[in-house]
Amino acid sequence: MALVVPKQIAELPWRVMWIVIALAGAGMLSLYSAAGGSLMPWALPHAVRFATFLAMAIALSYIRPKLFEETVHLAYAGIILLLITVFAFGAIAGGARSWLDLGVIRIQPSELAKPVMMLVLARFYAMVPPREIGRWSALWPALALLAVPTLLILIQPDLGTAALLVLSAIGIMFLAGLPLSWFLGGAAAVAAMVPIAYSLMMPHQQARVLIFLNPEEDPLGAGYHITQSQIAIGSGGLFGKGFLNGSQSHLQYLPEQHTDFIFSAFAEEWGLVGGLVLIALFFLLLRWGMKVAVDARGRFERLAAAGLTLTIFFYIAVNLMMVMGLAPVVGIPLPLVSYGGSAMMTVMICIGLLMSIDRQTRRDPRRGGGGL
Partner 1 sequence: MKKRYRPPPTEAGIAASFSRRAMLIGAGQAALAAVLAGRMGYVAIAQNQRYSDLADSNRIQTRLIPPRRGWIVDRHGQPMASNRSDFRVDLIPDQIEDADRVIAELTRILSLTPEAVEKIREDLAAAAGFQPVPVAEHLSFEKFAEVTVRLPDLPGVSPLRAFARFYPEGAAVGHLIGYVGTPNRDEYEAENRSPLLLTPGFKIGKEGLEKVVEQRLRGRPGAARVEVTARGRLVRELRTLPDVSGAPLRTTIDAGLQSYAARRIGDESGACVIMDCNNGDLLAMASMPAYDPNAFSDGISRSEWAMMSEDERRPLLNKVLNALYPPGSTLKPMAAMALLEAGVDPEDVVSCGGGYRLGNRVFRCLGRHGPMNMHRAIARSCNTYFYAMAHRHGYEIIASMARALGLGERFDMPVVSQSYGTIPDAAWKRRRFDQAWSHSDSLNAVIGQGYVIVNPLQLATMSACLASGRRVRPRLIAGEGPAPADFAYDPAHFERIRRAMSEVVNGAGTAGRSRLPFPDILMGGKTGTAQVRAISSGSRGGAGVARRFRDHGLFVFFAPVDRPLYAGAVVIEHGMGGSRAAAPVARDVLTYLFDKDRAMAALEPLEREWGGNIGERMARRTTQWEAARAAAAAAPPPAEAP
Q: Which residues bind partner 1 (CB under 8 A)?
A: 130-131, 133-134, 171, 174-177, 228, 230-238, 247-248, 251-253, 267, 271-272, 275-276, 279-280, 282-283, 286-287, 290, 293-294, 299, 302-303, 306, 310, 313, 317, 320-321, 324-326
Q: Which is nearer to partner 1, 78 or 179 (CB)?
A: 179
Question: 215 vs 341, which CB is nearer to partner 1?
Answer: 215
Q: Are 343 and 46 in contact (CB under 8 A)?
A: no
CB nearer to partner 1: give 84 or 276: 276
CB of 345 to partner 1, least distance (A): 23
Q: Which residue's CB is nearer to partner 1, number 325 or number 341?
A: 325
Q: Kindly tell me which of 234 and 331 has the beta carbon lying closer to partner 1.
A: 234
C-alpha–C-alpha distance, residues 10 and 185, integer Å: 48
Q: Cβ 185 to partner 1, closest distance in Å? A: 17
Q: For residue 101, what are the β-bridge partners? A: 106
Alpha-carbon separation of residue 216 from 222, 227, 261 (angstroms): 10, 7, 18
Helices (H) and strands (E) in the chain, counts: 14, 2
Question: Least separation, in Å, of the C-beta of 94 and partner 1?
Answer: 28
With respect to partner 1, which residue has the nearer C-beta, 143 or 294? Answer: 294
Nearer to partner 1, 96 or 294 (CB): 294
Shortest Å distance, C-beta 111 to partner 1: 22
Q: How far is the CB of 274 from partner 1 (least distance, A)?
A: 10
Burial category of 195 from C-beta neighbours within 10 Å (exposed 0-12, middle 13-18, buried 19 and up): exposed
* 321-327, long-range: CB < 8 A, 24+ apart: 322/226, 322/260, 323/229, 323/233, 323/260, 323/261, 323/263, 323/264, 324/229, 324/230, 324/233, 325/215, 325/226, 325/229, 325/230, 327/212
DSSP 3: T
The per-residue DSSP string of 329-355 comes to ------TTTSS-HHHHHHHHHHHHHHH
Residues paired with 231 in a beta bridge: none
Least Å distance, CB 91 to partner 1, is 35
Residue from 254, 255, 279 nearest 268 by CA? 254
Whether residue 257 contacts residue 246, with contact meaning beta carbons closer than 8 Å, is answered with no
Report in angstroms how near the CB of residue 347 gets to partner 1 at its nearest. Answer: 15
